[in-house]
Amino acid sequence: MKAGVIAVQGDVSEHADAVRRAAASHGVDVAVVEVRDAGVVPGCDVLLMPGGESTTISRLLREEGIDEEIRNHVAADKPLLATCAGLIVASRDAKDDRVSTLDVLDVSVDRNAFGRQADSFEAPLDVTGLDEPFPGVFIRSPVIDEVGEGVEVLAQWDGDPVAVKQGSVIATSFHPELTPDSRIHDLTFFGQEHASTQDGEGVEA
Amino acid sequence: MTEETDLEELKRGTDLVKRGFARMQKGGVIMDVVSREQARIAEDAGAVAVMHLESVPADIRKRGGVARMADPGKLETVIDEVSIPAMGKCRIGHTAEAQILEAAGADMLDESEVLTTADERYHIDKREFTAPFVCGARNLGEALRRIDEGAAMIRTKGEAGTGDVNQAVTHQRSIQRSIRKLSGMNYEERDEWAREHEAPRELVHETADMGRLPVVNFAAGGIATPADAALMMQHGCDGIFVGSGIFGAEDPSKMGEAIVQAVNNYDDPETLTEIAKGIGAGMKGQANETMPEEEKLQGRGV
């Protein structure tokens, strides 16, 4: 399996480690590539769009010509996991002209809806498809405020959707890649829970 | 879903949340700004965050006198202006300035040698804060002492306000060299290294095992061009702070955009060549070689 981590900006190595762990738990060989130029995405079986700053990421995707390649990847029904800023970039509408969204996920989002960094938090989340609560890490996170038809809500926080699935795309407001728990990556790329829960304070960069 | 239980288990200001914030800045450019107008230009140029301060380091050098935290009211106008994180600088050891900046809504605090040192002996106890901190370091010992105090991000000190990248290179090389040495040592030798360098031994072992700093490591101090930014990324930095280099340049928008693109293409000389064309002159600067020791800022807060 070839996994491409969109690497124009954000927490790229954390996603690379998480997809390696998920693949290893299935005995699947995975080659992880960083995507910073056009021409790499078409050769990838699965994609990951990391957390970071959505203004910066969306701008560089457009400038490098990667944006259209991601749309084609999703149109071909190949898996994509998008977290936090990745969710914003993947959405239909971020209600902010500083971000040009890819519209590969029929949701609209409210950027930084949880407030500033002082309001960032971690808390356990119940996620559809996972037996045990998932450690949710929310960092200046967006909230999904409108969900289109065909989008399944996988998790909510305080009444708002924070994890969704549409076809081959799973997107979260929080950062599964910051924890050693790769069950969300598992769910996205292997379609089922394969418990690899570990205790710990999260991955180190 | 048991929402009540979840809300009770909510935790803020944990190491994971603070270090996680720093991780989201990776591969990005954090730009110094002194006004909301500059913050707008920085965000439009592709900055991942802005660092608000009263005047950029190059102007602090010219002006002299005591350099303090900026007016928190001005930080609030910057926060209102941009959607990206806004950071603020406080003096080394000045806990009250840090408390004020945190209350004003700063997403990250820089306990910075660019400002006048407030405490000759102690840095701020950063573990007490919900907001994450970034601190400067010239070598691995300094970096690990700051992490031990609670810093969620380390940056090279470089020599701020000079537009001369050579001290940032020196500091990054020193940190990397020490990590490589440690990785090749056995347990007793690592302990000995920790004692010799007055570094917390648990962090020394953690760093040696990981082969890198346990927090995000940015470059700062003297970065003035896209090529400087690319150089620091090639030296293994996770991202870049640009101080006087953006708004001291002939065309801040063009320079800002070019530095952002250079960080993404740091290992691609042909693209870097295109990026470096026609962006106007960089800041004038002052070479470190000719600077008297007493004018250097990097010796503050070790």
Residue in B closest to A110 by C-alpha? B83
Nearest CA in chain A to B215: A205
Q: Which helix (H) or strand (E) holds B204?
A: helix B201-210
Chain B 103-122, residues with CB within 8 Å of chain A CB atoms:
105, 107-108
pLDDT above 50 for A196: no
Question: Residue A94's closest CA among A110, A116, A115?
Answer: A110
Paired with A105 in beta bridges are A91
Q: How far is A155 from chain B (nearest CA, A)?
A: 9
Cα B18 to the chain's mean position, in Å? 15
Q: Are A73 and A163 in contact (CB under 8 A)?
A: no
Q: Cα–Cα distances in Å, from B93 out to A106, B119, B302?
A: 49, 5, 12
The arithmetic mean of pLDDT across residues B251-274, rounded, is: 97
**pLDDT exceeds 60 at position A204:** no
Are A125 and B6 in contact (CB < 8 Å)? yes
Report the pLDDT averaged over residues B157-182.
96
Burial (CB count within 10 angstroms: exposed 0-12, middle 13-18, buried 19+), residue B262 = buried
Beta carbons of B6 and A123 less than 8 Å apart: yes
In the predicted structure, residue B2 carries a pLDDT above the cut 60: no
Residues of B in contact with A178 (CB under 8 A): 16, 20, 23
Q: Comparing A158-172, B124-138, B256-270, B283-297, which segment has the lowest mean pLDDT?
A: B283-297
User: Distance (Å, rounded) from C-alpha A109 to C-alpha A113?
Assistant: 9
Please state the rounded mean pLDDT for residues B236-259. Answer: 96
pLDDT of residue B7: 62
Residues in A closer than 8 angstroms to B216, CB to CB, are 205
User: B20–A158: do the CB atoms touch at under 8 Å?
Assistant: no
Share of chain A above pLDDT 70, in %: 93
- How does pLDDT run across B226-236, given as a tens digit for each residue? 999 999 999 99
**What is the topology classification, in CATH, of domain A2-190?**
Rossmann fold (3.40.50)
> Pseudo-torsion of CA B277, B283, B284, B289, nearest 10°?
-100
Q: Is the pLDDT of residue A69 over 80?
A: yes
Which of A25, A22, A41, A32 has the alpha carbon at shortest distance from A1? A32
pLDDT tens for each residue of A103-155: 999 999 999 888 899 999 999 999 999 999 999 999 999 999 999 999 999 99
**Token pair for residue B16?**
């994971």
- The CA distance from B9 to A158, in Å, is 13
Indicate yes or no: CB of A156 within 8 angstroms of CB of B10.
no
CA A160 to chain centre: 17
* Tokens (6 digits) for B108: 């990250």
Q: Does A84 contact B24 at a Cβ distance shorter than 8 Å?
A: yes
Label residue B290 by pLDDT band (50, 70, 90). confident
Q: Which of B18, B74, B89, B157 is catalytic?
A: B89
Please give the residue that has the higher pLDDT: either B287 or B189.
Answer: B189
Given A15, A44, A84, A185, the catalytic residue: A84
Residues of A in contact with B40 (CB under 8 A): none
Closest CA–CA distance from residue B24 to any residue of chain A (Å):
4
Domains and CATH numbers, chain B: 15-272 (3.20.20.70)
Identity of the residue numbered A34? E
Chain A CB contacts of B2 below 8 Å: 126
Cβ-based burial of A43 (10 A; exposed 0-12, middle 13-18, buried ≥19): exposed
User: What DSSP line would sit under B146-174, residue for residue?
Assistant: HHHTT-SEEEE---TTS--THHHHHHHHH
Min distance B48 CA to chain A CA atoms (Å): 6
In the annotation, is A177 catalytic? yes
Q: What is the pLDDT of residue B154?
A: 98
Q: Cβ neighbours of residue B183 under 8 Å, at least 6 residues apart? A: B208, B211
Is A139 assigned a ligand-binding role in the annotation?
yes
- Report the SS3 class of residue B15: helix
Contact call for A205 and B238, based on CB within 8 A? yes
Q: Is residue B107 within 8 Å of B87, Cβ to Cβ? A: yes
Q: What are residue A204's phi and psi, to 5 degrees? A: -105, 150
Residue B18 has pLDDT above 80, yes or no: yes
**Is B4 a residue whose pLDDT tops 70?**
no
| Amino acid residing at A16 | A
Q: Which one of A36, A85, A112 has the shortest CB-CB distance to B264?
A: A36
pLDDT at A50: 98
Element (DSSP H or E) covering residue A35: strand A31-35
Among B7, B46, B214, beta carbon nearest to A59: B46
Q: Decide: helix, strand or coil at residue B20.
A: helix
Q: What percent of chain B has pLDDT over 70?
A: 97
Can you tell me the distance from the alpha carbon of A106 to that of A150, in angstroms, rounded to the nearest whole number? Answer: 8
With CB atoms and an 8 Å threshold, state whether A139 touches B14: no
pLDDT band for position A200 (50/70/90)? Answer: very low
Cβ distance of B26 and A60 shorter than 8 Å: no
Say how many Å lie between the first and final Cα of chain A, rounded.
24
Q: Which two tokens stand for residue A56?
A: 């910066």
Contact of B186 with chain A, judged by CB distance below 8 Å, is answered with: no
Q: Is A64 a catalytic site residue?
A: no
Contacts with B184 (C-beta within 8 Å, 6 or more apart), sequence order: none
Per cent of chain A over pLDDT 90 is: 90
H-helix or E-strand containing B236? none
Q: List, for residues A154-188, the tens digit of each pLDDT value.
A: 999 999 999 999 999 999 999 999 999 999 999 99
> What is the domain partition of chain A in residue ranges?
2-190
| Spatial contact of B25 and A140, defined as CB atoms under 8 Å apart | no
What is d(CA A172, CA A182) in angstroms, rounded to the nearest whole number?
13
Nearest-CA distance A76 → chain B (Å): 27
Nearest CA to CA, how far is B240 from chain A (Å)?
Answer: 12
pLDDT at B9: 85
Amino acid letter, residue A144: I
Place of tokens 């180190």: A204
Average pLDDT in chain B: 95
Query: Which two structure tokens, joined as six digits, stand for B9?
Result: 């288990």
B61 is in an annotated binding site: no
- Length of chain B measured in residues: 302
pLDDT at residue A114, rounded to an integer: 86
List pLDDT tens digits, range B25-74.
999 999 999 999 999 999 999 999 999 999 988 888 888 899 999 999 99
